[in-house]
Amino acid sequence: MNLKVLPGFASQDEVKEMKGRMQQLIDQWDPEEARGSVFHTYGNDKLNQEYFLGSASTVRFFLEAEAVKDTGVVKPFNNKASIINKVGHGLHFIDPVFRQYAQSDKVKALVKSLGYKDPVLPQSMYIFKQAKIGGEVTSHQDSTYLFTEPVQTCLGLWLALDEADELNGCLWARKGSHRHEEAKKWVGKVPGGNPHYSQETVEALKKAGFVSLPVKAGDLVCFAGTLDHLSLSNRTERERHTFQLHLVEGPAAGVKWASSNWMQYPEGNTGSL
């Protein structure tokens, strides 16, 4: 399996429930807790790493780079929801609404239909891609961060909670790339700094073999962890929320979770599906 788009995978009631639940979590959140969640190079690296690495099996908020000054101070805001980049990485462990979707019969049936024998669910993320300031996510492979041995088994389930198109930061994928490039292994360390990447034009992306994947709220994009994918920044007035699950094969299928992965769990428990 390379890439598949499943229209209407989640009902509009499910979409509404997840967005509403996230708003409740935001209402309970103090932005000062996330001051160490944007990766700059102003001498705060230890705090950044501790905050990031401690998010594996809990719920933590991460800020948009443009919401934070170079000194690390959060800029003034009218709506605290507007400064969040993502919430991760254990919503499927902690929160009943997101756990209900992650453990739903339809998710289990989909994963089984793709040939998974012992699927486990180590990671979930709620991504905001904020209106006007939603940052670019450069080309990457999910298997880089969720490395398994002896083969790569990461599966991404990218659920759109809003309409997404080329203007507000939809997903782009380089079809067939999972066959040509070996996944790079990222050893558990947060990259120092927050380098600036120039925004690639639509024409340049298409020339490089990428295709855009516009979707409606409730649509699911399902793809292999070795597939190159990205999303451009959002400078529109429209937000682009998504809820994403990352799965891998488990030990009963002869697959091992890499000990160097940044996400580690007690007794190797990565969460059965």
| 60 backbone dihedrals φ, ψ, rounded to 5° | -130, 150
Residue 49 lies in a domain: yes
pTM (2 d.p.): 0.88
Which helix H or strand E contains 66, and what residues bound it? none
Is the pLDDT score of 236 beyond 90? yes
The DSSP secondary-structure symbol of 134 reads: B
Q: Rounded CA gap, 143 and 201, in Å? A: 26
Residue 229 lies in a domain: yes
What six digits make up the tokens of 247?
A: 């799965």
**What would the pLDDT profile of 142-191 be if each residue is shown by its tens digit?**
998 899 999 999 999 999 999 999 999 999 998 876 555 454 544 444 33
Structural contact between residues 118 and 252, judged by C-beta atoms closer than 8 angstroms = yes
Cβ-based neighbour number of residue 205 at 10 Å: 18
Residue 261 lies in a domain: no
Structural contact between residues 153 and 225, judged by C-beta atoms closer than 8 angstroms = yes
Residue 70, judged by CB atoms within 10 A of its CB (0-12, 13-18, 19+), counts as exposed
Number of domains in the chain: 1
What is the extent of the structural domain holding 139? 3-253
Q: Rounded CA gap, 221 and 137, in Å? A: 16
Q: First-to-last CA distance in the chain?
A: 19
Residue 45 lies in a domain: yes
**What would the pLDDT profile of 245-260 be if each residue is shown by its tens digit?**
999 999 999 999 998 8
Residue 273 lies in a domain: no
Q: How confident is the model at residue 198 (pLDDT cuts 50, 70, 90)?
A: very low
CATH number for the domain harbouring residue 182: 2.60.120.620
The DSSP secondary-structure symbol of 35 reads: T
Is the pLDDT score of 266 beyond 70? no
Residue 267 lies in a domain: no
Dihedral sign (CA 156, 159, 162, 165): positive
Residue 81 lies in a domain: yes
Does the bond joining 89 to the residue before it have cis omega, within 30 degrees of 0? Answer: yes
Q: How confident is the model at residue 138 (pLDDT cuts 50, 70, 90)?
A: confident
Structural contact between residues 170 and 229, judged by C-beta atoms closer than 8 angstroms = no
What's the pLDDT at 79?
87
Structural contact between residues 223 and 124, judged by C-beta atoms closer than 8 angstroms = no
Which residues sit opposite 62 in a β-bridge?
86
